């Protein structure tokens, strides 16, 4: 592999990183649910640093936050893909969007329960 090959590999990698970053920024700007999740995540991170969590509690919280935001991004991707396929009402479009929303809901509910397990003992 020559120097030029390495350079174009690196260019391709940095380009795909930029596309991914743009995808996140676009979602932050346009998706209200993502903005809400981001806001809650910041509050949780702030509360965590005030309540001095253990290393393992931080790892769990970061997993939950990362998973939640990633899932919300995937949900947005699916919604946009379905919108691209049809703007008209279609039962399959509804099924796809509702299932993706359901995935977010499952993860969000479990995150709340795990968050309560971590935070409640610190507060009482």
- Restricted to residues 52-111, the positions that interact with ligand ATP (CB under 6 A) are 79, 86, 89-90, 93-94, 97-98
- Only one residue has tokens 């969000």, namely 108
Q: Decide if 61 contacts 118 (C-beta within 8 A).
A: yes
C-beta of 93 vs 103, nearer to ligand ATP: 93
Q: Which is nearer to ligand ATP, 6 or 26 (CB)?
A: 26
Distance CA 65, CA 40 (A): 9
Shortest Cβ 112–ligand ATP spacing (Å): 22
**Nearest distance from C-beta of residue 4 to ligand ATP, angstroms:** 43
Q: Residue 106 CB, nearest distance to ligand ATP (Å)?
A: 16
Query: Of 61 and 108, which has the nearer Cβ to ligand ATP?
Result: 108
Place of tokens 């509702």: 98
Q: Which listed residue (31, 57, 72, 79) is catalytic?
A: 72
Query: Treating both helix axes as pointing N-terminal to C-terminal, what angle do 32-50 and 3-30 enclose, rounded to 10 degrees?
Result: 100
Dist CA 106 CA 110 (whole Å): 6
C-alpha dihedral (90, 93, 97, 103), degrees to nearest 10: 120
Tell me, yes or no, if 57 is annotated catalytic. no
Tokens of 9: 């590999």
Number of residues that bind ligand ATP (CB under 6 A): 8
Residues with a known catalytic role:
72
Q: Which stretches of the chain bind ligand ATP, using CB under 6 A?
A: 79, 86, 89-90, 93-94, 97-98
């Amino acid at each position: 592999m020559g120097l030029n090959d390495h350079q174009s590999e690196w260019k391709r990698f940095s380009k795909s990183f930029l596309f991914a970053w743009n995808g996140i920024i676009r979602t932050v700007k346009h998706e209200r649910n993502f903005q809400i999740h981001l806001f809650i995540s910041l509050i949780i991170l702030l509360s965590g640093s005030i309540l001095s969590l253990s290393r393992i509690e931080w790892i769990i919280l970061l997993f939950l936050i990362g998973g939640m935001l990633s899932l919300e991004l995937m949900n947005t991707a699916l919604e946009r893909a379905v919108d691209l396929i049809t703007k008209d009402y279609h039962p399959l479009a509804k099924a796809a969007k509702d299932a993706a929303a359901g995935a977010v809901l499952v993860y969000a509910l479990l995150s709340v329960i795990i968050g309560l397990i971590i935070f409640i003992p610190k507060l009482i």
